[in-house]
């Protein structure tokens, strides 16, 4: 989830306001952990293993889905989030599954390798980086991620496919990320400055998130400016993909 401590945008509420306790309580209804696990089909676990990763920090853990999957797959996992409501939910999910996962309430600017250590991989999932509107602040965040990595360490960051969304081709298949049957995702305001997602639940509750509509090419350039190389991308977990016909784009890069 959004991690920029104190970050404001004239058109966008702070992340702490957007991720209200009531919204977070419904978050796992939106995801449906079992269906999401089936949709991902071990993609992240396999990718990390292919790169020889043993230790991972999940810097946008949200309700803890990926931290749980990675822990259960045998990785050493640390989880952080800048939303206290999300981190509380994640810790609840860890306990319910009998897992001990080190977790910290940290915004991205306060991620410190002297405190947290260094890792073989940093994962930032859930299109979380798109909560940061200013390019120079995204570069600062990516440099923070780089500082957490061992030499040659792996960065994995995903994003909504704003290339297609800004072209009027919004797609939310429900097959990969938001798999729940008791909620739907739609769009509100969309332009080159902001994208508003509307989450509607079957009990008539509705929540809105506003993010920066970061183009995949923009993010690739920022990753490569931040101490990374060997960029690759995937569309809905496929190396060969149609940019106009995928929900999410996943970026990987190695720390220089």
pLDDT tens-place string over residues 77-136:
999 999 999 999 999 999 999 999 999 999 999 999 999 999 999 999 999 999 999 999
Residue at 166 is within a domain: no
Check the CA dihedral 111-79-212-39 and report its sign. positive
Query: Measured between alpha carbons, how far is 173 from 251 in angstroms, rounded to an integer?
Result: 20
CA angle centred on 149, ends 144 and 151, rounded to 5°: 125
| pLDDT number for residue 202 | 83
Residue at 56 is within a domain: yes
| Residues recorded for the chain | 256
Using DSSP, state whether 79 is helix, strand or coil.
Answer: strand
| pLDDT number for residue 183 | 76
Backbone angles phi, psi at 48, to 5 degrees: -65, -40
Query: Measured between alpha carbons, how far is 203 from 200 in angstroms, rounded to an integer?
Result: 8
Q: What is the domain-level CATH number for residue 110?
A: 3.40.50.150
| pLDDT number for residue 29 | 83
**What percentage of the chain exceeds 90 in pLDDT?**
77
Structural tokens at position 136: 């120079």
Query: Measured between alpha carbons, how far is 205 from 124 in angstroms, rounded to an integer?
Result: 28
| pLDDT number for residue 5 | 37
Q: Is pLDDT at 3 greater than 50 in this prediction?
A: no
| pLDDT number for residue 101 | 99
Q: pTM for the full model?
A: 0.92
- Could you read off the pLDDT of 132-170 as tens digits, one per residue? 999 999 999 999 999 999 999 999 999 999 999 999 998
| pLDDT number for residue 9 | 38
Q: How many domains does the chain have?
A: 1
Residue at 179 is within a domain: no
Q: What average pLDDT does range 58-79 have in this prediction?
A: 98
| Residue carrying structure tokens 């929900």 | 247
| pLDDT number for residue 178 | 63
3 Ramachandran zone, left/alpha/beta (phi>0; psi -120 to 50): alpha
CA distances from 4 to 83, 193, 242 (A): 10, 18, 31
Q: How confident is the model at residue 13 (pLDDT cuts 50, 70, 90)?
A: very low
| pLDDT number for residue 70 | 99
Residue at 223 is within a domain: yes
Cβ(256)–Cβ(225) below 8 Å: no
Residue at 222 is within a domain: yes
Residue at 51 is within a domain: yes
Which residues touch 199 (CB under 8 Å, ≥6 apart)? 23, 26, 30, 183, 184, 185, 206, 207, 208, 209
Closest among 12, 26, 55, 33 to 153, alpha carbons compared: 55
Environment class of 133 (CB within 10 Å of its CB; exposed 0-12, middle 13-18, buried 19+) = buried
Q: Is pLDDT at 4 greater than 50 in this prediction?
A: no
Q: Which domain holds residue 53?
A: 15-161+214-255
- Could you read off the pLDDT of 14-45 as tens digits, one per residue? 666 788 888 888 888 888 899 999 999 999 99
The enclosing H or E element of 102 equals strand 102-105
- Could you read off the pLDDT of 180-239 as tens digits, one per residue? 667 788 999 999 999 999 998 887 789 999 999 999 999 999 999 999 999 999 999 999
Q: How confident is the model at residue 254 (pLDDT cuts 50, 70, 90)?
A: very high
Residue at 110 is within a domain: yes
Residue at 69 is within a domain: yes
| pLDDT number for residue 203 | 76
Q: Is pLDDT at 171 greater than 80 in this prediction?
A: no
């Amino acid at each position: 989830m959004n991690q920029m401590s104190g970050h404001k945008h004239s058109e966008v509420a702070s992340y702490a306001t957007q991720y209200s306790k009531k919204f977070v309580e419904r978050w796992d209804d939106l995801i449906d952990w079992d269906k999401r696990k089936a949709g991902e089909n071990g993609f992240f676990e396999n990718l990390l293993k292919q790169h020889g990763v043993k230790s991972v920090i999940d810097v946008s853990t949200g309700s803890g889905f990926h931290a749980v999957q990675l822990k259960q797959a045998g990785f050493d996992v640390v989880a952080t989030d800048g939303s206290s409501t999300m981190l509380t939910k994640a810790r609840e999910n860890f306990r319910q599954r009998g897992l001990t996962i080190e977790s910290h309430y940290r915004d991205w600017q306060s991620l410190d390798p002297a405190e947290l250590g260094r890792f073989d991989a940093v994962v930032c999932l859930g299109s979380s980086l798109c909560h940061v509107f200013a390019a120079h602040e995204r570069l600062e965040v990516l440099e923070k991620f780089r500082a957490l990595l061992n030499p040659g360490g792996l960065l994995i960051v995903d994003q909504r496919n704003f290339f297609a969304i800004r072209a009027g081709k919004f797609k939310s298949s429900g097959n990969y990320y938001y798999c729940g049957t008791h909620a739907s995702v739609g769009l509100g305001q969309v332009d080159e400055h902001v994208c508003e997602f509307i989450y509607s639940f079957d009990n008539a509750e509705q929540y809105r998130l506003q993010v920066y509509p970061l183009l995949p090419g923009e993010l690739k350039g920022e990753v490569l400016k931040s101490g990374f190389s060997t960029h690759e991308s995937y569309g809905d977990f496929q190396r060969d993909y149609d940019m106009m016909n995928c929900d999410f784009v996943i970026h990987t890069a190695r720390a220089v």
